[in-house]
A and B are shown apart, each in its own frame.
Chain A
Amino acid sequence: MQTKKYLFLSLLATQLLYPAPKTTPQSEKYYHKSLEELLATETELKADIGSRSGERDTMYSDVPIDVITTQQIHLSGSLELSEILQKYIAGFNYPSASIKDGTDHSKPFTLRGLNPDQVLVLINGKRLHQSSLIHVNNSIGRGSSSVDLNTIPVASIERIEILRDGAAAQYGSDAIAGVINVILKGYGHKNRISTTYAQTHEGDGKTKQTDIFYSTPLPYDGFINITAEFRDNQKTNRAGADLRDLYAQGDPRNALANPITMHYGDPEAQNILLALNSEMIAQNGTTFYAHGIFNKRESEAGAIFRLPIEDRNNPTLYPDGFLPHIAPKILDYSLSLGIKDRLQNGIKWDLSYTNGYNNFHFYVHNSLNDSLGDSSPTSFDSGGTSYRQQVINLDLSKNLELLTLAGGIEYRKEHYTIYKGEPDSYRLGEFSNNAGAQGFPGFLPSNEVDAHRENVGLYIDAKFNPRPNLTLEVASRFEHYSDFGNTFDGKFSALYKPTQSLMFHGSLNTGFRAPSLSQSYFTSTTTEYVVNGLNQIGSFGVDSPVARDLGAVKLKPEISQHYTFGFVYQPISNLSLSADYFYNAIDDRILLTGNISGSISPQVQAILDSYNVTKARYFTNAIGTQTDGVDVRLNYHHKFDNNLLLKTNLAYHYNNTQITQINTAPSILGAAGEGILIDTLTKERITSGQPKHILSLYTQLTQGDWALAFNLKRFGGYASVLGEDLYRFDAKWVSDVEFSYQINARFNLSIGAKNLFDVYPDRWGDTGSDFYSTQGSLPYPPESPFGYNGRSYHICIEGRF
């Protein structure tokens, strides 16, 4: 009886706290609006991700989905896609990277605290290729090859859909942390041209961009849309003074003020970006489509400064030392061609071919090959890497009364190469033991790789609506890879609406990530003189004889299990609250080992000697991890009587990754094996190198011709390691503001500031290091999720035609 009383009271309290609104249906309210008001009505957000049954309301989906709209993109003030995602998605991390070789020029991103290569990226639903660059320096995402999101011109994007769930059973490899689907502008978009200028409060980082979007209508609402962006970024630099004595002991120049010798900030970069999105619709309804992106990037950033007195310097060429500039030229493109239609029996089909390519060609300037003496060149072609991915896909689907059935087949072919640099970039001359170009030694002929892989996937997806308030979905996918064999994954998800204002959803699924070809085959070595001749030092492919003898085996896929569950509560039409718990367990995560040297044991020394190698490392399936966390969203919008529209979104993300297993190290590595598989720095990078807590509050006000957006974000604390010591960096609040004004029917003016209150990450503190310390050359942690450029301003004028 007592229980019943409490139940009654709690139900009553719920009703009082959240009284039912007047029961006038939405359609009835619409009916009494003017046509102009009806045409200005904003409808629910829809997304075409996480299911093969077509677009659905993101609010009422069986899996959690976020969408970034055209208007949000416009009000972001950002010129790069990665920045936009970081601004709006609480679990998306885009940390800074500087003095990390190629990583400076193609920075990795992560979702929900996992690795960059554990996120699948799609353009218009088609798989986008990864970069050929593998991050091997000490940055977030070390050991992975990630998609370079900044190859997609922002002006070409209609919306971005983010699935916060594993989906390998639907999309195949990589969909572990989530899936990002970039939808390019399609039918109905206006032509526009805009020009933007930005710079930091410090006065550097000047950025100029001009972009144009042009749409040509075709019959039956077909279109050819072309976007072009031209961007010039000047570098930023937040390096501190070099505390070291630059010159020989006793040189009076050491008494002068310490100069800034390093470059610690964003690279200087010039970008040309193009995008195509086209649909040609025939009289009979058959649709031919093509979409693609193209990016040519020339970028330049510093390596570590070489002191005049270092043995790596040649004082004849650089009497005051030198800062090598790593200057890659990156070419990246992807093109998808397809045809889709519907058969008489209602089966929809979609046949497509996608060809994606990335070429990362390293050049080094302001450098030398010390071993060549005074005649050394100062600029080098250091060779590079390339990756091509071709996908042929056939999708089929049919809507029945209560059931949607979908399935398909996909063939994928990958091709990875490493090509050598010019001889002076890698060779060992006779003047010293410092071979190759300083900053980034060239790839040797023996490093060259030409590797292929093929895989075929078969998948099926069934969505069942037994009742109007219940949806069940099952999916499974079988894949065969030519290098490691078969995978089979499944997914079950459900959505249940006990009332129209409350929905529960959840999913259980398995997944995998195929080892990338770059992880299997990456080889980069330098040469040095030893007593008995020439030796190699560096990274070796897992198939190379020296790696095999040191315990390397063929890489296996990373295997994952996921579940997520949560609810959406919408007590009134303009307020919604959602909360989701997620759990990912990943076995056999692939890492790059530490250096394996002869100091480990005489047996290891003997193996290294037999291959003329001094130190070696390779990729291996090293650890298992568990990541869990929550995502909470509170959305509210309200239109005031004066037509002022307020939209606000409060988001909280929490993730926690723990290492649950360290695989058994090869016996040849003996007692040192575990430390070689994973060292302290790597452990901390995986478990605490990224913020665990992220809170964001986005507020947007629009009225008539103007719009104001304010984004407040709290990046939680994180840690880094120097030597064996752990350093923690506090959480920071960062704010962005954007004001947009429609001058007339054709022109729009936007001004804004990023990091409005000029917040910087904590400095390292007193570490004793000349580099990584508060007073050192590199005073800020490289993992800072919001960089260390401080405040910046921008202005953009846009014309429509």
Chain B
Amino acid sequence: MKKIIVAFLSLNLLLLASNQERDLQAVFIGRLAQFVQWNHPKEHLFRITIIGNNPFGDLLNRLYKKKKIDGKSVEIQYITRLEEIGQTDILFVALENQQEIQKVILYAIKNSILTIGTQRGFAQRGGIVQLSFVMQKPHLVINHKTAQYSNIKIQAPLLAIAQEIIKGDE
């Protein structure tokens, strides 16, 4: 009988009730990458780095386990300090301290890394993609200027759907 109850509860554990904002952020990380071209040397893995307090749990690992971005398998790394960043394609900035965020952004610009953050003003501070939520919907701000500085090319379809663009050289 106990086994039956456990089985029942296990079935229910698979049901819904996820954090939609977190799910969308996780999905946007990979989907946005499909509209971005990097100029740094090609690696055999597509690397996504989360710096700061990881808000995703193991969601990213599960979501990108069998997926390919830019034809490459995806590797997720979780770090807390700037010195740990190393070579990465996307840097998801989950820091709260503005000074730390600023240092990370500067590092990313120098190293041609696509930065994604959810903090208010993230794009104006030099982050490339700001993904926040306004009235229960995703709100995308792209700093095209920083992307150009970083030698990162953002394709027109992505620029076309962003709610706000901080323009660079046309």
Residues of A at under 8 Å CB distance from B?
4, 7-8, 11, 14-15, 20-21, 23, 25-28, 30-31, 35-36, 38-45, 57, 59-60, 69-70, 158, 187-189, 219-222, 281, 283-285, 342, 344, 346, 497-502, 570-573
Question: Given that A8-B4, A26-B23 are contacting pairs, would A39 and B161 also be in contact in the complex, using a CB cutoff of 8 Å?
Answer: yes
Question: Given that A187-B134, A220-B124 are contacting pairs, would A27 and B12 also be in contact in the complex, using a CB cutoff of 8 Å?
Answer: no
Which of B24-32, B86-94, B106-114, B145-153 touches A? Answer: B24-32
B15 within 8 A of A: yes
Question: Given that A26-B23, A342-B96 are contacting pairs, would A21 and B16 also be in contact in the complex, using a CB cutoff of 8 Å?
Answer: yes
Question: Given that A11-B5, A27-B63 are contacting pairs, would A501 and B17 also be in contact in the complex, using a CB cutoff of 8 Å?
Answer: yes
Q: How far is the CA of A21 from the CA of B11 in the complex (A)?
A: 10
Do the beta carbons of B11 and A15 come within 8 Å of each other?
yes
Total interface residues on B, using CB and 8 Å?
50
- Can you identify 24 A-B contacts, CB atoms within 8 angstroms? A7-B1, A14-B8, A15-B8, A20-B14, A20-B15, A21-B16, A23-B14, A27-B23, A27-B26, A28-B63, A31-B30, A35-B35, A36-B161, A38-B27, A39-B138, A39-B161, A221-B121, A284-B99, A285-B98, A342-B96, A501-B17, A502-B12, A570-B16, A572-B15
B18 within 8 A of A: yes
Identify which of B1, B8, B13, B28 contacts A500 (C-beta below 8 A).
Answer: B13
Nearest CB on B from A33, distance (A): 8
Contact with A along B15-58 (1 / 0, CB 8 A): 11111110110111011100100000000000000000000000
Do the beta carbons of A221 and B124 come within 8 Å of each other?
yes
Nearest CB on A from B28, distance (A): 7
Identify which of B27, B121, B133 contacts A31 (C-beta below 8 A).
Answer: B27
Question: Given that A27-B23, A27-B26, A30-B23 are contacting pairs, would A60 and B17 also be in contact in the complex, using a CB cutoff of 8 Å?
Answer: yes
Nearest CB on A from B59, distance (A): 6
Most chain B CB inside 10 Å of its own CB: which residue of A30, A219, A346, A573: A30
Query: In the complex, which residues of chain A have a beta carbon less than 8 angstroms from the beta carbon of B17?
Result: 59-60, 497, 500-501, 570, 573
Query: In the complex, which residues of chain B have a beta carbon less than 8 angstroms from the beta carbon of A502?
Result: 12
Do the beta carbons of B120 and A221 come within 8 Å of each other?
yes
Given A7-B1, A38-B28, A41-B24, output 13 extra A-B contacts at Cβ < 8 Å: A11-B4, A15-B11, A20-B11, A20-B15, A25-B63, A38-B24, A39-B140, A43-B24, A188-B163, A220-B125, A500-B13, A500-B16, A501-B16
Query: In the complex, which residues of chain B have a beta carbon less than 8 angstroms from the beta carbon of A8?
Result: 1, 4
Q: Which residue of chain A lies nearest to B137 when distances are taken between CB atoms in the complex?
A: A42
Do the beta carbons of B15 and A21 come within 8 Å of each other?
yes
Do the beta carbons of B9 and A499 come within 8 Å of each other?
yes
Nearest CB on A from B114, distance (A): 15
Question: Given that A221-B124, A500-B16 are contacting pairs, would A43 and B97 also be in contact in the complex, using a CB cutoff of 8 Å?
Answer: no
Do the beta carbons of B19 and A4 come within 8 Å of each other?
no
Q: Which residue of chain A lies nearest to B67 when distances are taken between CB atoms in the complex?
A: A31
Q: How far is the CA of A43 from the CA of B62 in the complex (A)?
A: 21
Do the beta carbons of A41 and B19 come within 8 Å of each other?
no
Nearest CB on A from B156, distance (A): 12
Question: Given that A35-B161, A221-B120 are contacting pairs, would A344 and B97 also be in contact in the complex, using a CB cutoff of 8 Å?
Answer: yes
Nearest CB on B from A320, distance (A): 56
Do the beta carbons of A342 and B97 come within 8 Å of each other?
yes
Do the beta carbons of B24 and A573 come within 8 Å of each other?
no
B157 within 8 A of A: yes
Do the beta carbons of A220 and B120 come within 8 Å of each other?
yes
Q: How far is the CA of A31 from the CA of B67 in the complex (A)?
A: 10
Nearest CB on B from A28, distance (A): 7
Do the beta carbons of A573 and B16 come within 8 Å of each other?
yes
Do the beta carbons of B137 and A39 come within 8 Å of each other?
yes
Q: How far is the CA of A342 from the CA of B96 in the complex (A)?
A: 8
Q: How far is the CA of A189 from the CA of B137 in the complex (A)?
A: 12
Residues of B at under 8 Å CB distance from A?
1, 4-5, 8-9, 11-21, 23-24, 26-28, 30-32, 35, 59, 62-63, 67, 96-99, 120-121, 124-125, 132-140, 157-158, 161, 163
Nearest CB on A from B127, distance (A): 11
Query: In the complex, which residues of chain A have a beta carbon less than 8 angstroms from the beta carbon of B98?
Result: 283-285
Query: In the complex, which residues of chain B have a beta carbon less than 8 angstroms from the beta carbon of A572?
Result: 15-16
Nearest CB on A from B4, distance (A): 6
Query: In the complex, which residues of chain B have a beta carbon less than 8 angstroms from the beta carbon of A283?
Result: 98
Do the beta carbons of A57 and B135 come within 8 Å of each other?
no
Q: How far is the CA of A283 from the CA of B126 in the complex (A)?
A: 12
Nearest CB on B from A341, distance (A): 9
Question: Given that A41-B20, A60-B17 are contacting pairs, would A187 and B120 also be in contact in the complex, using a CB cutoff of 8 Å?
Answer: yes
Do the beta carbons of B59 and A27 come within 8 Å of each other?
yes
Q: How far is the CA of A31 from the CA of B30 in the complex (A)?
A: 8
Do the beta carbons of B16 and A219 come within 8 Å of each other?
no
Query: In the complex, which residues of chain B have a beta carbon less than 8 angstroms from the beta carbon of A342?
Result: 96-97
Do the beta carbons of B31 and A35 come within 8 Å of each other?
yes
Do the beta carbons of B96 and A26 come within 8 Å of each other?
no
Query: In the complex, which residues of chain A have a beta carbon less than 8 angstroms from the beta carbon of B124?
Result: 219-221
Nearest CB on B from A14, distance (A): 8
Nearest CB on A from B80, distance (A): 13
Query: In the complex, which residues of chain A have a beta carbon less than 8 angstroms from the beta carbon of B133?
Result: 43
Do the beta carbons of A38 and B16 come within 8 Å of each other?
no
Nearest CB on A from B136, distance (A): 5
Do the beta carbons of A25 and B62 come within 8 Å of each other?
yes
Nearest 6 CB-CB pairings of A with B: A220-B121, A285-B98, A499-B12, A188-B134, A27-B23, A43-B20
Q: How far is the CA of A571 from the CA of B12 in the complex (A)?
A: 9
Nearest CB on A from B36, distance (A): 12
Q: How far is the CA of A768 from the CA of B15 in the complex (A)?
A: 63
Q: Which residue of chain B lies nearest to A59 when distances are taken between CB atoms in the complex?
A: B17
Question: Given that A35-B31, A188-B139, A342-B97 are contacting pairs, would A44 and B19 also be in contact in the complex, using a CB cutoff of 8 Å?
Answer: yes
Q: Which residue of chain A lies nearest to B21 when distances are taken between CB atoms in the complex?
A: A43
Do the beta carbons of B12 and A500 come within 8 Å of each other?
yes
Identify which of A27, A44, A219 contacts B27 (C-beta below 8 A).
Answer: A27
Do the beta carbons of B136 and A4 come within 8 Å of each other?
no
Q: How far is the CA of A501 from the CA of B14 in the complex (A)?
A: 9
